[in-house]
Structures are given as structure tokens and as C-alpha cells.
Chains A and B, each alone.
Chain A
Amino acid sequence: MSAAISMAASSAKTTAPRDISELKRMANRMRIEIVKMIGAAGSGHPGGSLSEVELLAALYFRVLRHDPANPSWENRDRFVLSKGHGCPALYVVLAEAGYLDPALLPTLRKLGSPLQGHPDKRVLPVLEASTGSLGMGLSIAIGMALAAKLDKRDYHTFVMVGDGEIQEGQNWEAAMFAPFHRLGNLTLIVDYNHQQLDGFLKDILDPAPLREKLAAFGWNAVEIDGHDFAQVIPALEKARANTSDHPIAIVANTIKGKGVSFMENNPKWHGVAPKKEEVEAAVKELEAKS
């Protein structure tokens, strides 16, 4: 286990703020790794991993206050990936940031790997929470934000949920709680890729209008393009700097399968791994953008 988490010597450098062109290159690199990892695993969730890449890259390289050399730092910002099936993207960004040895990425979903099929804090302690049963991350994040207030610490807690996930009722229990308890140190990010396993949200159970619903619950809710760093970074930075008592909700419009043309907007790619030739085609397409 301890070998799984190699502390990058260059941690300070890896988390130094990067400009948008550098972040774009990183996002593309992350997508290549995600496709390769899931292809090698033979199972996994490419669609919802590819949709959250810019949000994670911006968080770990522009927004979160963290130190890969000291992952249990008490005053670190917290990030909880409630949509646990999107963990390949999280593993890749943790590797980019120096929390994980990149050599572990091909072990995704393999027996004994710390990169479990859904995030498992037991074997990857750098994770803030174990997730995978949908609808729970926001409550956990609220607990972390409450603890910050009790301990008079100024860390910020971010949590990312899926848009299909938001159909789970627990989210709305939590959505009532956070504004009522004035958790301005909490930010909810919705990866709004408009699809879930069985198809499009609009055909299953549409949560729209999501921003308006969260605003009505008392969240300071904004809607952005979740793939445009020029919108993602300012929205996350503003949330991190929030001094009001209102928790922040960022409804990030994204494209499921983003970056791989044959995966984009096709619900089939929610939970199906690309075959060898599909990995090759996807990597070729992504490399052409590098």
C-alpha cells in the first residue's frame, strides 16, 4: 500500500498554478490515460470520466489548497468524488499531481490494486472518502465542512456529483442542510453531462432546471461550460474564495465521453470499456489534438 502512494519529489512544482494552454494539454493527456486504463481493465466508465476532466484538472492545479508531499495535512482542502464511477479521471489527476505513481494506472480494477473499481479509501488513503453507491458524497462533504467550522479551520470542501446521481433523494436532504447551516465553505459541482446508464436524463428523470432548483434551496448556484477552462477556473476560484454564508453550487454543463468522437453523447459509453481497436482509435484522435 505505502508503495502505491509515491510522494513526488517535485510536488511543489506539479501543483503550481498552470496556465490554460498547459491545462488543456494536461486534460488531453488525462483523457488518453483514462481511455487506456479502462481499455486495459476491460471494464469501467469512460463516459463520465471523460466529462469531468477539466473540472478535476482545474481543481488540483489551480484551486485546491493542498500539498502532495503532505496528503494528510489537516488544513488541506477536501475533494470528494461522489460519482465514484468517474474514479479513473480522479486517479489520473492524482497521478499528475504527484499523489500516485503513474505506473499504477494500468492496474485499475486489478486484484490487489489500490485503484479499485470505485474509490476505496482503505487501500488508497489519499482519497477523502470511499464512494460508489450514488447520492452520498454531498452528505460526507457536509460533515467535513461542519468539522472545519467546529475546528475553526479555513479549508474548503468540494464535492462532485453526477447529474443522474442527483436523482437520489439523499442529495436533497443534504441540499436542504448545507444552506440552512450556512456552509459557505462548501462547493457542490454537478457534472451535468445529461446522460445516465439507461440513456438521456430527459428520457428517464430530468432534474432540470437544476441551477434553479439548487438556488431555490439556498445555494449560490451558477451554470458554466464544464469544458471551458476560461469558465471553469474563475467559477471554482470564486467558490474557493467565498466569504458569504451561502454554499456554492456549480452546475457544469459537460459532454459525456468528451474528446473521443465516437463516445461523445452516446449513452452506450456510460459503463462499457473500449476494445483494443477502439482504444487505439481514441488515443489516435486525442493525440492528434495534443
Chain B
Amino acid sequence: MATPATKPKLELRMGAATREAYGQGLVELGKTNPNVVVLDADLAKSTFSAKFQEQFPERFFTCGIAEANMVGISSGLALSGKLTFASSFAVFLCDKGYDQLRMCVAYPKVNAKFCGSHGGISIGEDGPSQQAIEDIAIMCALPGFVVLVPSDEFCARALVHRMAEHAGPCYMRTGRPKAPVIYGPGDKFEIGRAKLHGEGRDVAIMACGLEVGYALQAQAQLEDEGIAARVLDMHTIKPLDEAAIAGAARECGCIVTAEEHVLDGGLGSQVAKAVAKSKPVPMEFVGIRDTYAESGTPEQLMEKYGLTAPYIVAAAKAVLKRK
């Protein structure tokens, strides 16, 4: 794939990390709902659940480095009527807690909420052992789970509230680095409803998490070159906004997906499934290609593993040729 290293046309203002917004959302919830209980597995300062702990220590439990137990305890609390939010790094929560997420939460349909922070490779220097690149796929595989990947702080905060309102298990992936500001405090978010940016009819770019910022940069770059793209922020991977995807497929005739996740079972796979059912069109996939990453700065890694705006531009041009 071509790797044009041009500076992006659209400069996005950096805001808070989505993990920080998670902590803010929890505090907001805690103030209005005394039933909210928050758990963490020795990463509260990193996941930002510590923000809740500071305000409501009596409703916060740190479980130590024991994710399986934390998920099981969340289930027991939720079965007893508590509204639980449990967090850790996405890789530890979803991988070490997977059997418990399945047995104690998904299968009995327990109303418990989970947040995996440090999603993707943009966590940087800590390396592959800490980088969740499979969490979306494995969480989407659990029947009944809502799977959310917010793109910026406003989206993340709003989705914390939507999780609280939703009756049933939810998983939200947050990121470590500061995220570009895409929305404002007035923007509304609903589970399962993509956010549309632009009306371009040449190509549709569907992205989640940090990739939404890159997609918007790609959109600006493409516009310069006379290509009209629309961007869909797929903050909800499950349930997928199939109507928005079908509409984009019909109106644009080709799709690029972009995600900070392996291509197997992530956003691209889910979109492809939906497109195949509704309106099959050519697709290109930006994501991590069946490999683990390495240590490096977030910027270096996003570039090296093909996740930045120029790669989305290249994918858009490639898919346009196949229309």
C-alpha cells in the first residue's frame, strides 16, 4: 500500500483522552445515582475510575490484580441490584476476565458495565503485552453485549450515561492518549446510531475510536483532490447501525473501514457482514494486519502499522478504483 507522508490538511485540536472522560462520566453518574458501584483491578489511576473513588470511596472497590474475581464480583453486585462499572486495561479485562464476562454476565444477561482502557496500539511504549488489539472481536462474540468505542471525550462521557440507561451488559473501550476533539457538549449520542460527518457520495469511511480523527483528516485531504467522502463515526460496534451502513453503501458505492484493532472480527468485519446482507459494495480495510505491534511512541506505531490518515486516503483511492 502507498504511504504518502504528507502533513494532514485538517489540524484537529487535541482534547482529553477517552479514558479521562470515562472517569468524568462515572463521577457525573455517581452524583445522581447512589446505586452506582465502581470496581477496578489496580489500574484505577490509569483507567480514571480513581476519579469516582476520590468522590465516592464507599462505593468503590479495588480488587487487586485479579480481573476474573472482579468480573465475578461485579456480577454478584449487579444481581443484587447495583449498577456496576468495572474497569481495567482492555487487554486484561477482556482476556483474563473473558470466561467470567461470558459465564457471569453475558449468558445470564446481567446488567453490568465494563470499561477496557488503553485500547489499541496507541498506548505506545508499553508494548504488545498491554496493547488490546482483539478486544472488539471477542466482546462482539458475546451474545447480548453492547460494544462501544468512543472517538472523543464528549462521545465517551455521553456513552457512559447511555450504558447506565441501557438494561444489559455493556463494554466500552477507551484509549490512553489524548483524543482529538470532534464533538461538543451539545452533541447527542445513542447506542447503535452512527454519527455522520459530511454528505460526500464518492466513498464512505467508517471508523471508530482514534481512527475517527484520522478519517476526518483523510476526508479533508480527499476533498482537496476532488473526492467527496463522508465519514461515519461507528462508536457502537454492536449493535451495529446497519441502516446507516446500508444507506452509505447505496449512496457511495464503496466503503473504507478504519480501526485500531486486528482486521479479524473488528469493525471492518462487522461492517462487511452488514454490507453483504444489504448492498454489497467494494470495501477496503484499514487496521492491524494479523500481527502484534511493538514498543514505540503512539505516533510512530500508528504510522508503522498503517493506521494514520494517509493510509485511509490510500485505501479510499484504492476502493474507488474498484467501484
Binding site for B on A (CB under 8 A): 74, 120-122, 128-133, 135-136, 138-148, 150-151, 169-170, 173-174, 176-177, 181
Contact = CB atoms under 8 A, between A and B. Distances in A.
15 contacts: A74-B81, A120-B108, A122-B107, A130-B104, A130-B107, A133-B99, A138-B72, A139-B72, A141-B76, A142-B72, A143-B77, A143-B80, A151-B81, A173-B66, A177-B64
A139 B68 contact: yes
Contact of A121 (B68, B78, B81, B108): B108
A143 B108 contact: no
A176 B80 contact: no
A-B pairs with lowest CB-CB distance, top 10: A143-B76, A139-B72, A147-B80, A173-B66, A173-B69, A140-B76, A143-B77, A130-B108, A143-B73, A144-B76
Nearest to A139: B72
Interface string B74-86: 1111111110000
Main secondary structure of the interface of B (DSSP, over half): helix
Contacts of B76: 129, 139-147
Interface in B51-76: 58-59, 61, 63-64, 66, 68-76
Contact of A136 (B37, B72, B77): B72
A177 B77 contact: no
Contacts of A181: 61
A120 B103 CA distance: 10
B268 to A, nearest CB: 31
A174 B67 CA distance: 10
Given A122-B109, A143-B79, A147-B82, A170 B103 contact: no
Contacts of B99: 133, 136
A250 B315 CA distance: 63
Interface string B84-121: 00000000000000011011100111000000000000
A135 B64 CA distance: 18
A282 B107 CA distance: 35
Contacts of A132: 103
Contacts of A129: 75-76, 79, 104, 108
A129 B103 CA distance: 10
B103 A133 contact: yes
Contacts of A169: 68
B120 to A, nearest CB: 27
A129 B109 CA distance: 11
Nearest to B59: A150
Contacts of B82: 143, 147, 150
A177 B69 contact: yes
A24 to B, nearest CB: 33
Contacts of B63: 173, 177
A181 B69 CA distance: 14
Contacts of B77: 143-144, 146-147
A145 to B, nearest CB: 8
Contacts of B64: 173, 176-177
B75 A139 contact: yes
Contact of A173 (B68, B75, B80, B104): B68
Contacts of A121: 108
Contacts of B73: 139-140, 142-143, 146, 174, 177
Contacts of B61: 146, 181
Contact of B100 (A74, A144, A170, A176): A170
A214 to B, nearest CB: 16
B59 to A, nearest CB: 7
Nearest to B34: A150
A170 B108 contact: no
A146 B108 CA distance: 20
A198 B75 CA distance: 30
B100 A136 contact: yes
Contact of B69 (A74, A130, A150, A170): A170
Contacts of B58: 150
Contacts of B107: 122, 130
B80 A144 contact: yes
A187 to B, nearest CB: 14
A205 to B, nearest CB: 19
B60 to A, nearest CB: 11
B37 A139 contact: no
Contacts of B108: 120-122, 129-130
A169 B66 CA distance: 10
Contacts of A177: 63-64, 66, 69, 73
Contacts of B69: 139, 142, 170, 173-174, 177
Given A150-B37, A176-B64, A139 B79 contact: no
Contacts of A147: 76-77, 80-82
Given A122-B109, A173-B69, 14 more contacts: A74-B81, A129-B79, A133-B102, A133-B103, A136-B68, A140-B79, A143-B72, A143-B77, A144-B79, A144-B80, A150-B59, A169-B68, A170-B100, A173-B68
Given A122-B108, A130-B103, A136-B104, A174 B80 contact: no
Nearest to B107: A130
A147 B59 CA distance: 10
Nearest to A146: B77
A114 to B, nearest CB: 14
A63 B241 CA distance: 51
A143 B78 contact: yes
Contact of A170 (B72, B78, B80): B72
Nearest to B77: A143
A64 to B, nearest CB: 16
B79 A128 contact: yes
